[in-house]
């Protein structure tokens, strides 16, 4: 009998992995499970372990983009969505070591939704959740961890253990092939954890076992860590040692980490090339294709495409399927199809298709195209303070894209590719208050691009009207989008520049505009808005904010992008507050959005001082 977790050929996503873990916990007990983990475990040794060790939980690592998706996964699997969570320092540190990352980059939570056994036994699924937002750069970590399942484990709890009995149980585990693999004492829970790596012939794909004993057993823990089988012991052979830990000890990890960072350009071009070749468009997430067939469909060289596909598999954009049964020998003169690699598109890779909701294909083409070329001149931007894009192309990216019949629409589409950050905006108190006003209110989207954000707001609130101000070439695309969304009849379109901000609106929106410009131009834009705004009007500014404490953020990456490509910058909240004040506006507060974005709420200074900003921002932090 083989109990497999996870079945890598069948589980399409983390939800299936979570469902499989919950089923595993529900269906197994100690007496039946221990012989699967330790082949040859019978008789008195099995009785001793099964009599003292209660199967407590199965652990796994998931990679949701945000907390809402994690709650949805729990709900789909029949687990409590209100299960409390807290940071997992241990798993965060292990991931940081394995992947050469700063632990501060990794948001890992732990939660233990309850799963009763067949006879009502108290058990749980221990879920570690590493948040992996789109564009976060954490996707390779998720792909590697999904493939190797380092954190998948089974836990057994020993209640009220005697020190001598605990040592005896550890000795039984080691005698039957389990290898000591770390542990620790948690003073907050007053519990001791002993980790073991299971033998390679275990009839279960969980690779690790956790033994939990209530109380302080640091003497047993010290002996456990000093065992010759433990990777940290001087006499350990190193054959089963985690390679990431080994490289850290012998000094090679910094070089490997740097090498990984230096190949980031390859990642960008691999994803962009797959989009340019139309590879995701001839694949799907249900079917595995031979590389030969994909080469024929895309008009590419089979061997070269297979090389690209293997790299994309490492990134998590495709998965490489197990080999099918050998096909019959070909007729003389025909090429054999045996040992053909097969690849299936993942949900991540599907975002590079042109025909899916939320497609990010245009973003890949921009980052792998003109913006990729301009980053080759980053040293020029750093030396001179002038955009590398202007230096390379001889004009600003705004002028360059406006004149190019292909790049202009592609840039507007790429801006819409990050529209996930807009999801909470229609529910912002300023918007909802305008929608409930006695007289129909108007939302003015300044430099509103292709109308993605304004369309969301008008669709969510049928009583609102909209005005979109944009460059002439972009207005037509916005009109088509808003008409298709069914709200075009409630929107007016104003071709023009920032000097043409229409007066009389109730809510003004500046989404991802100010970071394109230096401070002087930002003040000018904000003054145009302030002049157009009636005394009661609100201004919502959507931008990424640089963290005040210097913690890792997508804003730091985009700050470099703005320097290199447009001459703009990302800013801290207090910096925006000063720019707003210079334009006669006051920052009321700001609240977070997805993808490390924020929405800043401002009003005219006099109105704010008089207390006119009576509607609070959610999770507002005062500047």
CA angle 276, 279, 283 (to 5 degrees): 150
Cα gap 182→195, rounded to integer Å: 5
Q: Which residues pair with 186 in a beta bridge?
A: 191
Spatial strand order of the sheet with 179-186 comes to 85-87, 108-111, 124-130, 54-62, 153-158, 208-214, 191-197, 179-186
| CA dihedral of residues 99, 104, 107, 109 (deg, nearest 10) | 100
**Sequence-separated (6 or more) residues with CB below 8 Å from residue 333:** none
Q: Which residue has the tokens 């983990």?
A: 37
Cβ–Cβ under 8 Å, residues 217 and 162: no
**Encoding tokens for residue 494?**
């104003």
Residue 515 annotated to the active site: yes
Measured in degrees and rounded to the nearest 5, phi and psi for residue 300 equal -125, 170
Minimal CA–CA distance to 155: which of 37, 54, 289? 54
**Encoding tokens for residue 288?**
């595995």
Minimal CA–CA distance to 475: which of 497, 506, 490? 497
H helix or E strand, kind and range, residue 556: helix 554-565
H helix or E strand, kind and range, residue 212: strand 208-214
**Encoding tokens for residue 294?**
């994909």
Cβ–Cβ under 8 Å, residues 523 and 574: no
Asked, as a colleague might, if the bond just before 476 is cis with ω within 30 of 0, I would say no
Cβ–Cβ under 8 Å, residues 281 and 355: yes
| Three-class SS of 123-181 | CEEEEEEECCCCCCCCHHHHHHHHHHCCCCEEEEEECCCCHHHHHHHHHHHHHCCCEEE
Q: What is the DSSP letter of 80?
A: -
**Encoding tokens for residue 267?**
């990642």
**Sequence-separated (6 or more) residues with CB below 8 Å from residue 60:** 6, 17, 18, 21, 125, 126, 127, 128, 149, 151, 152
Cβ–Cβ under 8 Å, residues 97 and 41: no
Give alpha helix (H) positions in 388-468.
388-393, 397-403, 407-416, 429-436, 452-460
Cβ–Cβ under 8 Å, residues 446 and 531: no
Catalytic residue among 57, 515, 561, 598: 515
Count of beta carbons in the 10 Å neighbourhood of residue 250: 7
The DSSP bridge pattern shows strands 85-87 and 108-111 to be antiparallel
The DSSP bridge pattern shows strands 318-321 and 465-470 to be unpaired
Cβ–Cβ under 8 Å, residues 41 and 62: no
Cβ–Cβ under 8 Å, residues 83 and 112: yes
The residues carrying an active-site annotation are 515
């Amino acid at each position: 009998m083989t109990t497999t977790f996870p079945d890598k050929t069948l589980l399409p996503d983390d939800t299936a992995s979570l469902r499989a873990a919950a089923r595993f916990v529900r269906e197994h007990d100690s007496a039946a499970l221990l012989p699967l983990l330790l082949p040859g475990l019978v008789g008195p040794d099995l009785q001793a372990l099964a009599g003292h060790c209660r199967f407590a939980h199965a652990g796994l690592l998931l990679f949701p983009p945000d907390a809402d998706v994690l709650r949805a996964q729990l709900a789909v699997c029949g687990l409590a969505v209100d299960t409390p969570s807290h940071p997992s320092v241990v798993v965060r540190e292990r991931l940081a070591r394995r992947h050469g990352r700063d632990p501060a980059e990794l948001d890992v939570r732990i939660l233990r939704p309850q799963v009763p056994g067949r006879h009502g036994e108290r058990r749980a699924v221990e879920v570690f959740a590493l948040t992996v937002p789109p564009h976060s750069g954490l996707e390779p970590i998720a792909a590697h961890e999904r493939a190797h399942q380092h954190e998948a484990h089974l836990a057994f709890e020993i209640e009220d253990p005697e020190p001598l009995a605990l040592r005896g149980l550890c000795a039984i585990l080691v005698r039957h092939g389990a290898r000591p693999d770390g542990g620790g004492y948690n003073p907050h829970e007053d519990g001791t954890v002993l980790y073991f790596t299971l033998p390679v012939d275990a009839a279960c794909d969980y690779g690790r076992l956790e033994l939990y004993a209530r109380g302080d057993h640091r003497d047993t823990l010290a002996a456990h860590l000093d065992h010759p089988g433990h990777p940290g012991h001087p006499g350990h052979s190193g054959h089963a040692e985690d390679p990431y830990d080994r490289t850290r000890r012998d000094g090679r990890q910094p070089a490997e980490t740097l090498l990984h960072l230096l190949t980031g350009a390859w990642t960008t071009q691999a994803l962009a090339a797959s989009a340019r070749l139309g590879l995701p468009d001839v694949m799907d997430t249900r079917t595995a294709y031979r590389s030969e067939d994909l080469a024929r469909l895309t008009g590419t060289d089979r061997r070269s495409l297979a090389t690209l596909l293997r790299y994309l598999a490492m990134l998590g954009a495709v998965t490489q399927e197990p080999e099918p049964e050998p096909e019959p020998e070909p007729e003389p003169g025909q090429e054999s199809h045996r040992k053909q690699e097969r690849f299936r598109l993942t949900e991540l890779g599907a975002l590079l298709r042109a025909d899916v909701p939320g497609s990010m294909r245009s973003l890949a083409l921009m980052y792998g195209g003109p913006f990729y070329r301009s980053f080759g001149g980053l040293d020029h931007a750093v030396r001179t303070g002038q955009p590398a894009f202007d230096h390379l192309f001889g004009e600003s990216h705004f002028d360059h894209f406006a004149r190019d019949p292909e790049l202009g629409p592609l840039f507007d589409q790429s801006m819409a590719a990050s529209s996930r950050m807009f999801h909470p905006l229609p529910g912002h108190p300023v918007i909802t208050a305008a929608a409930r006003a006695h007289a129909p209110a108007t939302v003015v989207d300044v430099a509103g691009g292709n109308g993605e954000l304004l369309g969301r707001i008008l669709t969510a609130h049928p009583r609102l009207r909209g005005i979109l101000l944009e460059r002439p070439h972009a207005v037509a695309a916005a009109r088509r989008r808003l008409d298709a969304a069914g709200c075009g009849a409630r929107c007016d379109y104003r071709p023009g520049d920032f000097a043409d901000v229409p007066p009389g609106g109730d809510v003004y929106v500046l989404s991802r505009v100010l970071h394109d410009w230096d401070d002087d131009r930002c003040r000018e834009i904000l003054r145009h808005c302030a002049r157009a705004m009636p005394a009661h009007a609100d201004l919502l500014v959507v931008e990424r904010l640089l963290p005040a404490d210097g913690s890792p953020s997508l804003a730091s990456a985009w700050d470099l992008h703005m320097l290199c490509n447009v001459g703009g910058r990302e800013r801290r909240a207090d910096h925006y507050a000063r720019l707003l004040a210079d334009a006669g506006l006051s920052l009321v507060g700001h609240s977070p959005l997805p993808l490390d974005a924020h929405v800043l709420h401002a009003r005219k200074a006099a109105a704010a001082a008089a207390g006119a900003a009576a509607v609070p921002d959610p999770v507002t932090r005062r500047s």
